[in-house]
Amino acid sequence: MKAVFPKKKLGQHFLNDLNIAQKIADLLQNQNCDNVLEIGPGMGVLTDFLIPHSKNLKMVEIDLESVAYLNQKYPEMQAQILNEDFLKMDISTLFANESFAIIGNFPYNISSQIVFKTLEHRHSIPFFCGMFQKEVAQRICEKPGTKAYGILSVLCQTYYHTQYQFNVSPGVFSPPPKVDSGVLSLERKEDLIVDFDEKLLFRIVKTGFQQRRKTLRNSLKTLNIPKFILEDSIFDLRPEKLSSEEFIELTKKVGNAKI
């Protein structure tokens, strides 16, 4: 089979280190995920190690050349190789309404969008792992009080246990990216009690970090929060100081005021 030519416009950097591929696939162990969706399989380097781990593996690949390659490489799996754009496809019924894990060597230019879509479908996705630009992976797993801590950090940590797994150097890709990479995993918090307005939480987090240098009292002005609620000392803080748990408590305070 003729190798696929990496396309810059698709952000393709094909992993060619089998040891790294094995380490990523091994993150699925002990997750009890029969259904697995791989995003951007390329030439199947990671796929080879996923097949033994999953009873029902599907692959979504936007690149027609890669799809043709995968169809040749895995002729028995052609029905499970989907030539679609993950960001545009309906994943809610992908596995007949059953839960599924997401894994992949993600295109760095859309990696944050992949995470946001995962959060949108969090009730169906108990586990998520894969390759990111190192800076983005660290940001997702970052703790409060730092400049890197932001919207993705709070929202991912609200619903998932985040863990930065390991660094990956540019030399294991073809072509090598200009940045270092990192692998992370997200394991859903099954004991999370959702007794807060989730849409309001997303709104508060996004609005707060849009003006992260301001205190929450100032950055959340557009939400028209009653003055008596704004007297709470939590509004003296900048958004980067609040943990995901504290954002939940803030959401409850604001929600109870019936804004």
Q: Is the pLDDT of residue 258 over 70?
A: no
pLDDT in tens, 46-104: 999 999 878 899 999 999 999 999 999 999 999 999 999 999 999 988 999 899 999 99
Count CB neighbours of 188 within 10 A: 17
Q: Let me know: does 201 contact 224? Beta carbons within 8 Å.
A: no
Q: Is the pLDDT of residue 175 over 70?
A: yes
Q: How far apart are CA 56 and CA 89, in angstroms?
A: 19
pTM value?
A: 0.94
pLDDT in tens, 128-158: 999 999 999 999 999 999 999 999 999 999 9
Q: Going by C-beta distance under 8 Å and a sequence separation of 6 or more, which residues neighbour residue 79?
A: none
